[in-house]
Structure 1
Amino acid sequence: MSRDQHTVSRKFISDNALKVLYRLQKGGYEAYLVGGGVRDMLLGIEPKDFDIATNATPEQIKALFRNCRLIGRRFRLAHIVFGRDIIEVATFRGHHDSANDKQKECKKTSKQSADGMLLRDNIYGSIDEDAERRDFTINALYYSVKNFNIYDFAGGVADIEQRAIRLIGDPETRYREDPVRMLRAVRFATKLDMNISSETAEPIKPLASLLNNIPPARMFEEFLKLFVSGKALANFHMLRDYELFKYLFPTVEQGLTTADADDNEQMSRFIQLAMNNTDERINTNQRVTPAFLLAAFLWYPLSRQVNQLKQTTQLTPQDAFFAALHEVMSEQQRSIAVPKRFQAPMKDIWILQDKLARREGKRAYKAFEHPKFRAGYDFLLLRGEIEGGETAELAKWWTDFQAATHEAQQMMVKSVSGARSSRRTVRKRRKPRSNANKASAPKAD
């Protein structure tokens, strides 16, 4: 497609990406903007990703850029670092069956698992081969700043016009090579308001279990893209439709399908409310943390486990909570490796649910001064909206407490303490009669 046939323009491409493209060309290499950046510009969406494909090897790229670092063992990539902005540069991929003898002899070049998943893939080829190795047709689009042409190798432009998500090649083979493509198909469908083509969708359910082979650390990256990008609720529904969600949150899926009907409904509504809240914040450019949404996903599984331990063991409430926390998080870590920097605020949010319920004396002020009070309070508000009753009353109390003067806060705390005291019944112990008194007592006829 020549310049007059498309809407892609350098004015929409970041300056840093243009620097990389021009320097690669000046160095005698082919260089193209590829994938999401080209796709989004054709769709009229402001591009955020500026990935580059080239015939230069990672080592040759590093020789051109002092600010380059090579990463990845599975896929060797070059990251050109401009402060916080990173431009990813990949060498054209080749086909495994076309690799030369030297590459075949090198075990570090290519490796597949018994299921067909690519464990290592550093075979290089031409731009044509690279296009065939890409996942979806809409991502096999290349833009050249040399002649301003777009090169479409797989019918991606037609699929953009038809709003279709379509895999390149045999869908089952491509999913086996990289099962994460099933999650990507869902993400692109919701992000771009497109439909997954029937041939691309058909193998998803039968092959969904292949996601068990994906490292938990990589699954966390996919979690962020699915649930912390403004389309969490839509992705949740589609993931469940294709039976993929359980490989991200097995405990949650089990709770949604096997629990009591009322609990099931409450848990589902709470999770969806939390996702909707997160989507609204992201889409209005407000700050969000993955910890809050993760805490929402696991709140009901955690609560159920705590209650079960209280009923079946002699553990104190505090010990039951931490035992349940350890069990729930250990199970979740097998699917998604949640970094410690998010585990700590998750735990704070959960602990605050108990602290916010204990408002007597100085406890209310201590909870109010907690560094994560705001997150814990927002979490309580969502719970109150779903659970109603005492939880809703508690959420309202804290809403009023924050807006009240210091004197009014003291009165609110005293009223809570007084209500607690009035509910306690003080029983005066009867003094037992002595044996002598029992003996002298008159006997009934």
Structure 2
Amino acid sequence: MMASKLTADEITGKLLQGSFSRSGPSVDRLPDPIADTPLVLTLDELSAYEHNPRTVTNIKYQEIKDSIRVRGLDQPPQVTRRPGEKKFIIRNGGNTRLSILRELYKETGDERFYRISVLFRPWDGERGEIIALTGHLAENDLRGNLMFIERAVGIENARAIYEQETGEPISQRELAKRLKADGYPVSQSHISRMQETIRCLLPVIPAALYSGLGKHQVERLLALRKAAAQTWQTHTEGKPNVTDFEVLFQDVLSMFDGDASEFVCERVQDELISHMKEGTGRTYEQVLLNVNENLTMARRSSVIETPLRLPPTPQVQPEPDSESDAHRPQEDQEPKTLQSESKPQSPDTQVTEKSTLAAPSASALKTDKPLPPPLSDEERIARLEAHVVTPVSTTDRVFEIKRQVAALDGEELPDFKANALVSIPVQAGGLHPISDVW
């Protein structure tokens, strides 16, 4: 039996039937690469890193924009993507460049600013957040100096991430150790000042900090706060209805929240002492003296003690006891001296040797070499002028003030005129002494 012939309507109906439907699950996007991979992305697919420590526009923003306008990007920015998110984020710095690319594409409409080459780096499932944050901290420090408060906030965010990883609070020393392991070394003392700044200064003077208040000024403020707090506690102890010092300090400091270029620490100190007079029952001069004493004590206690180095003793040839001793070469005696010095000595032995060196015997002071004659005034002036490259215009009064300031810190200001006339024994070529470099 022959099949019936299809009509025109039936043929049209078969042609208009839908295609085969997909029975498997649908995939919105391909999975991210598992290794570092170059990609080409558009600006619509990129997003800035939301925890970027730099919150203020880069001071070199216009220079970078002019360079990208002419040359494009010299290096492809590194990007990554969190699991489950649609947009890629900048991984190690580059938020400034991304902002500039958006501006340039809006101004010019040039496709080379819209579609850029990037280097994709996989997201670390366990430590992705801290790797991204430390990467931005390090990159911003290299490309343009971060402000002190920006670095402090970034490290505080890093501390929060570390504590979330460990599930317990971490110390400043542990924080410094972890940051160093992740490629952003910061000392423990620096971290301490940063945390104190965020806790005590940032709530009161945010405008001054974010307008560029530097590390030196912050350290002076923190030192003033500590010294004034000690003075306040000393003179208000046991008194009723005394204002808390932190409240007093913040009330005074808030009066100076403005541009960092107009911030003067001495004005803060003057205003703070004026407010401390009533609570302490002291005069302005008495409070100022006490605060300065506390500052001096804190400064001296922070000085790192260096080991005491005794001045080299003059090597004097002792008077020979016999003719054989007189003709014995001195080189034969040097190895014995070096060997004795290399052996560990007990404290009692060291004390005995120091006292022996300090008070040599009368026979040891005898020498065949006569002492040089004293220099005349003309020779002294000639020797001083020979060591002067550029004359200093400092007056004697200024030098005396500098000497007194150094004495307050336990230091001794060097005297050029006296030191230039003194022979300095040095060592060259190992342990073979040279008696004079002049």
Question: Is the pair's TM-score, using the shorter chain for normalization, greater than 0.5?
Answer: no
- Bigger proportion of residues as helix: 1
